[in-house]
């Protein structure tokens, strides 16, 4: 598969339209005042499955030919992508195999099971996840749908950007969380496909700042041990995703876990929505670096809302 293009994002938008929701945007005068910017929040926490991941998974599933689809799909995921792929597979009536590492958030694993996935457990390492997925792929013939490095997934995630720019014309800045990079790369391709002058920022926890370190050094860093409560952002940025972020001049801003938790609370207070602490890194970044956003019209992606209410990060 080749890399994603803006044409791929447009095709993905048409492909997923019967299944994905057009998520709302919200604003807060108080948050605008705290940052000194005009901010619009794109609420992907209200997407089907509770996260933006449904977009990319659905595009991947419906990109398959009938013969490929009949063999099912397989992925590895600690939560939202596995849930999204299982839901997308169900829209097509095909099997979804999801490799889940030990220690994954229980609420997310329960959601994967409820969506109808065949769950396979593995050790909590990237190597173990990839090995298990490869074994299932070889045994079943299922199509591998990588959580973030798959061009079909990247294009699908990017479909939220044209929606956002239609809902809030005139944005000059986009901010998104960065984990494996599927959302970040898809949004970057889409944003610059529409307006090459849009400034692009990512938010990343200090304890999993591999994307920031990679962009600073000019090369993708090796595997690392994440130390962050932001469970959705503990993944090493993908190789193709790193190159997209570098090509599009994305600036990645680090935030502490405490700042992300405080931002999660503020989003509840001001917008009355529950988002994952990983998602709240975007607001944390604006509050920590207000000079980077002062006077700008900012579109902010709230990536997911699958929170375990019995294990809140505070």
Please write the tens of the pLDDT for every residue from 59-78: 999 999 999 999 999 999 87
Report which of 39, 55, 35, 48 is spatially closest to residue 182, judged by C-alpha positions.
55
- Going by pLDDT thresholds of 50, 70 and 90, the confidence category of residue 41 is very high
* Crossing angle between the packed helical segments 239-247 and 210-217, to the nearest 10 degrees: 60
Residue with tokens 């990319």: 56
Q: Which domains does the chain have, with CATH numbers?
A: 6-51+152-302 (3.40.50.1100), 54-148 (3.40.50.1100)
Percent of the chain with pLDDT over 70: 99
The pLDDT score that the predictor gives to residue 23 is: 98
Distance of CA 113 to the CA centre of its chain: 20
Please write the tens of the pLDDT for every residue from 257-281: 999 999 999 999 999 999 999 999 9
Q: Assign 3-class secondary structure to 95-152.
A: CEEEEEECCCCHHHHHHHHHCCCEEEEECCCHHHHHHHHHHHHHHHCCEECCCCCCHH
pTM (2 d.p.): 0.94
Specify whether the CB–CB gap between 281 and 255 falls below 8 A.
yes
Report which of 14, 181, 4 is spatially closest to residue 81, judged by C-alpha positions.
181
Please write the tens of the pLDDT for every residue from 139-163: 999 999 999 999 999 999 999 999 9
The pLDDT score that the predictor gives to residue 1 is: 52
Mean pLDDT value of segment 228-236: 91
């Amino acid at each position: 598969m080749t890399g994603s293009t803006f044409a791929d994002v447009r095709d993905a938008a048409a492909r997923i339209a019967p299944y994905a929701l057009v998520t709302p945007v919200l604003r807060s005068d108080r948050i605008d005042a705290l940052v000194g910017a005009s901010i619009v929040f794109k609420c992907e926490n209200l997407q089907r499955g509770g996260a933006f991941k449904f977009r990319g998974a659905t595009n991947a599933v419906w990109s398959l030919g009938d013969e490929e689809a009949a063999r099912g799909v397989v992925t590895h995921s600690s939560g939202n992508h596995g849930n999204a792929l299982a839901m997308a597979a169900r829209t097509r009536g095909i099997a979804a195999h999801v490799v889940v590492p030990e220690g994954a958030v229980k609420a997310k694993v329960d959601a994967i099971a409820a969506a109808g996935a065949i769950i396979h457990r593995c050790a909590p390492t990237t190597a173990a996840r990839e090995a298990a997925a490869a074994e299932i792929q070889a045994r079943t013939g299922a199509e591998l749908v990588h959580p973030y490095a798959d061009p079909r997934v990247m294009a699908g995630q990017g479909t939220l950007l044209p929606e956002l720019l239609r809902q809030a014309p005139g944005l000059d800045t986009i901010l998104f969380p960065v984990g494996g990079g599927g959302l970040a790369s898809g949004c970057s391709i889409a944003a610059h496909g529409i307006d090459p002058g849009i400034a692009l920022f990512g938010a990343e926890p200090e304890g999993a700042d591999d994307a920031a370190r990679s962009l600073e050094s000019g090369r993708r860093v090796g595997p690392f041990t994440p130390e962050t409560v932001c469970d959705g952002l503990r993944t090493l940025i993908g190789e193709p995703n790193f190159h997209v972020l570098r090509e599009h001049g994305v600036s990645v801003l680090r935030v502490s876990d405490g700042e992300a938790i405080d931002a999660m609370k503020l989003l509840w207070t001001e917008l009355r929505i529950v988002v994952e602490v990983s998602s709240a890194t975007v607001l944390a970044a604006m509050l920590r670096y207000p000079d980077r956003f002062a006077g700008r019209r900012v579109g902010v992606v709230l990536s997911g809302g699958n929170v375990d209410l019995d294990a809140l990060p505070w």
